[in-house]
């Protein structure tokens, strides 16, 4: 007898006993718009990179949009976000302006780091977004530090610290886990497991492939989450936020997700098949899931197209601004330098 055929859900480890909590129509519309903004922005960034308008590295978030959008839906004003280098989606989800993000990608004066940081180094204190970090795993220590500051100040803010399956094997991650649990710091460690890190399957690189268990030796609870379903992400985020605000210490959320593009724009992604990517797109695309639910609820195709048109206009305006905004003055070379 032939072995049972694996489904994409089984491959991603996303089989659940029940469906996630339903969204209201208002929540569905918000999730759709926010994820579409990230998708269209990243598509445009990819085009500009191909035209030579963006230099350096460029890591796109296409396919993973439900993770950061669902997490943000559970947060309040004052909660902090910090992540690695696949960060444009996180910025947009934190309500940073598309013009400022795109202008930073093209190295222009109107960028969030005045054109000096590029793709991996953008910040917004106003939006409580603390980067954008190019060193693998470095943001985990910093995100733990943000949580320590919250505990020290006696507020109830939570630090949401994102990192990938590749960064999960870094030593400083475990030092951070130990410290966070010892001091009961309000930090949610979100592991965005897109299965391939920089280009190596988790099955070849990680002895423990259930990343939700990575905090077990520190007594940190963990959850595996369908990171392609924004409702499942929001539900897990609600639980983790309540846990942290309640003074119980950190929690780990393993978001089982998938990136459609290579690790960066320079990666042809030959370590996986085109059929694998297309199957995930067809079966689990986070945006299409929301669109299909809205259509089933009676929303018209025309209404959904109007949302997409609005988002495309925002992105096109951002791209136009980012290509015509002046470059930084030469004097900027000497600012933001500390001895």
Q: Of 227, 244, 256, whose CA–CA distance to 146 is shortest? A: 244
For residues 202 and 193, the answer to whether their CB atoms sit within 8 Å is yes
Distance separating alpha carbons of residues 36 and 307, to the nearest angstrom: 9
Q: What angle do CA 21, 127, 327 make, to 5 degrees?
A: 130
Mean pLDDT, the chain, rounded, equals 93
Nearest Cα to Cα of residue 225 among 215, 203, 210, 245? 210
Q: Annotate 244-291 with DSSP letters as a single string.
A: HHTT---EEEEEE---SS-SSTT---TTS-HHHHHHHHHHH-HHHHHH
**Pairing mode of beta strands 187-193, 222-226:** unpaired
Residue 267's CB is within 10 A of a number of other CB atoms, namely 14
For the segment 105-118, the average pLDDT, to the nearest whole number, is 95
pLDDT tens per residue, range 189-211 = 999 999 999 999 999 999 999 99
Count of residues in the chain: 339
Q: Which of 278, 143, 271 is nearest to 205 (CA)?
A: 271
Sign of the dihedral defined by the CA atoms of residues 162, 36, 8, 19, in that order: positive
Q: Mean pLDDT over residues 130-140, rounded?
A: 95
Per the confidence metrics, is the pTM higher than 0.85? yes
HEC readout, 116-144: CCCCCCCCECCCCECCCCCCCCHHHHHHH
Handedness of CA 87, 91, 93, 99 (dihedral sign): negative
Strand ranges of the sheet holding 80-82, from the earlier edge strand across to the other edge: 80-82, 159-164, 187-193, 251-256, 222-226
Q: Which two tokens stand for residue 184?
A: 């009961």
Q: What is the pLDDT of residue 142?
A: 98
Question: Which pLDDT belongs to residue 336?
Answer: 84
Instruction: Inform me whether the pLDDT recorded for 119 exceeds 70.
Output: yes
Integer Cα distance of 190 and 203 in angstroms: 20
Q: What is the pLDDT of residue 13?
A: 43
pLDDT given for residue 338 in this prediction:
78
Q: What share of the chain in percent tops pLDDT 90?
A: 91
Phi, psi of 331 (to 5 degrees): -65, -20
Cβ partners under 8 Å of residue 275, min gap 6? none
Mapped onto helix, strand or coil, the DSSP state of residue 234 is helix
Of 153, 106, 162, the closest CA to residue 132 belongs to 162
- The helix, strand and coil proportions of the chain, stated in percent and rounded to the nearest 5, come to 45, 10, 45
Q: What is the pLDDT of residues 137-168, one digit of tens each?
A: 999 999 999 999 999 999 999 999 999 999 99
Q: Round to the nearest angstrom and report the end-to-end CA distance of the chain.
A: 70
Q: What is the Rg, in whole angstroms, of the alpha carbon atoms belonging to the chain?
A: 20
Mean pLDDT along residues 212-227: 98
């Amino acid at each position: 007898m032939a072995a049972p055929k694996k489904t994409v859900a089984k491959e991603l480890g996303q089989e659940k006993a029940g469906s996630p909590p339903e969204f209201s129509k208002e929540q569905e519309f918000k999730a759709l718009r926010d994820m579409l903004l990230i998708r269209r922005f990243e598509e445009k960034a990819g085009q500009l990179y191909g035209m030579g308008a963006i230099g350096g590295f460029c890591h796109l978030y296409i396919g993973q949009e439900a993770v950061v959008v669902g997490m943000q839906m559970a947060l309040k004003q004052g909660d902090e976000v910090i992540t690695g280098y696949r960060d444009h989606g996180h910025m947009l989800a934190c309500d940073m302006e598309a013009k400022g993000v795109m202008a930073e990608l093209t190295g222009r004066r109107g960028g969030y780091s005045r054109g000096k940081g590029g793709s991996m180094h953008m910040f917004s204190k106003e939006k409580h977004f603390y980067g954008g970090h190019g060193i693998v795993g470095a943001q985990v220590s910093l995100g733990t530090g943000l949580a320590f500051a919250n505990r020290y100040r006696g507020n109830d803010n939570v630090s949401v610290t994102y990192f990938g399956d590749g960064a999960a094997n870094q030593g400083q991650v475990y030092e951070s886990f130990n410290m966070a649990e010892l001091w009961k710091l309000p930090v949610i460690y979100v592991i965005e497991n897109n299965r391939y890190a920089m280009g190596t399957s988790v099955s070849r690189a990680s002895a423990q492939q259930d990343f939700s268990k990575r905090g077990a030796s520190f007594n940190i609870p963990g959850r595996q989450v369908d990171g392609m379903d924004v409702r499942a992400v929001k539900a897990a985020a609600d639980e983790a936020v309540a846990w942290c605000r309640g003074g119980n210490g950190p929690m780990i959320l393993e978001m089982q997700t998938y990136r459609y593009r290579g690790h960066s724009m320079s990666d042809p992604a030959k370590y996986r098949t085109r059929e694998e990517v297309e199957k995930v797109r067809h079966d689990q695309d986070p945006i299409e899931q929301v669109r299909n639910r809205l259509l089933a609820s009676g929303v018209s195709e025309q209404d959904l197209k109007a949302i997409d048109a609005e988002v495309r206009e925002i992105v096109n305006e951002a791209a136009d601004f980012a290509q015509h905004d002046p470059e930084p003055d030469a004097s900027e070379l000497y600012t933001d330098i500390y001895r």
